[in-house]
Amino acid sequence: MLTRRHIRIKVMQALFAFYQGESKEIKDGLSDLNKSIQNIYTLYLYELKMFWHFHRFLEERLEIEKQKKIPNPNREFRIQALLEMPFMHALASDKDVLNIWDKKNINWGDDLDMIRGAFFSFWTTEMDGEWLNSAETPDEQDSILWFKRFYRDAIANNESIQSHYEDLSMHWSDDLDAAQMMAVQTLQNAKRGKPLLVNLFKDEDDELFAEMIFIKSITSHDELMAKVRSKSEKWDYERLAPVDRCIIEQSMIEVQYATEVPVKVTINEAIELAKQYSTEKSPGFINGLLDSLVQDMISEGKVKKIGRGLID
């Protein structure tokens, strides 16, 4: 499921697109924000479909091993153990997963050769390795660790697959981390006997968090930017890049309206966004400016946090 950091990134991107775009209708911007968040789930489903194809790949490998003139019973046994993992077994037959793939039209199609190429490349390095040829019976955790290594080396860090995702959507390079976290959570769900599919949001509060920050940022835009301009003696408003303005704007709204989020967390998250998406000097600039703005907001009684220590 998405973390609040992933949600903040989506809000920042949506605000930037809204202010740079032609449409000034909030409902259009909100629709684009929701689509961008849902696209993370689509990416997650593509990751799961790769696992399904890997299941088929392992079945092929097992048949090839059985037909060899000089059999390798240890390797056959290990491949069978991977196929019988709860995750792999469930993924091949889970009706909810199969239905949502069909509903969302999740299909690698003409790009399947690229995926299988990643499988073969990984398999070539592993087939003579210790794990696949061990005579010991692997326990479930041992198989999971091997599978995680496969996911890391063959899929998650595969430049061709990452480039393909970027061709499909300009933001999927930012979304991949979230989608991969959800894919790993699916693996854990199978181990624990839980439903395979991971929810996009942890709860309703997280689902409403993005919408609240986005709408209130836009409706309060003039007021927020006036407060920023009031600090122009120390911080030059014109130095603010459009991305920085979005980060500051949504952070001020979060400080005021996200009553369960400590002020320090909001400011630290703003700094991290600036490090990732803005200029080298932006993190320090935003840190100082936000600290000053938040102190004013506290003095004005606009910061009301639930729980001790949330304002400091």
pLDDT digits (tens, 9 = 90+) for 2-50: 999 999 999 999 999 999 988 789 999 999 999 999 999 999 999 999 9
Residue 52 falls inside a structural domain: yes
Residue 311 falls inside a structural domain: no
Q: Whole-number mean pLDDT of the chain?
A: 90
Angle value at C-alpha 15, between 307 and 275, nearest 5 degrees: 70
pLDDT tens digits, one per residue of 109-119:
889 999 999 99
Residue 207 falls inside a structural domain: no
Mean pLDDT score, 61-66: 95
**Is there a single domain that holds both residue 179 and residue 227?**
no
Answer yes or no: are the C-beta atoms of 213 and 253 closer than 8 Å: yes
**Is there a single domain that holds both residue 92 and residue 162?**
yes
Number of domains in the chain: 2
Residue 170 has pLDDT above 90, yes or no: no
**Is there a single domain that holds both residue 21 and residue 88?**
yes
Domain around 265: 220-299
List the CATH number of the domain containing 234.
Answer: 1.10.940.10
**Is there a single domain that holds both residue 225 and residue 176?**
no
Q: What's the pLDDT band for 64 if we cut at 50, 70, 90? A: very high
pLDDT > 90 in the chain, percent: 69
**Is there a single domain that holds both residue 47 and residue 86?**
yes
Whether the pTM exceeds 0.75: the reply is: yes
Tokens 């993370």 belong to which residue? Answer: 40
Q: What is the pLDDT of residue 312?
A: 57
**Is there a single domain that holds both residue 146 and residue 104?**
yes
- Spatial neighbors of 305 by CB under 8 A, at least 6 apart, are 259, 260, 261, 262, 263, 311
Residue 200 falls inside a structural domain: no
**Is there a single domain that holds both residue 78 and residue 157?**
yes
Residue 308 has pLDDT above 70, yes or no: no
- Of 169, 206, 177, 174, nearest to 44 by C-alpha is 177
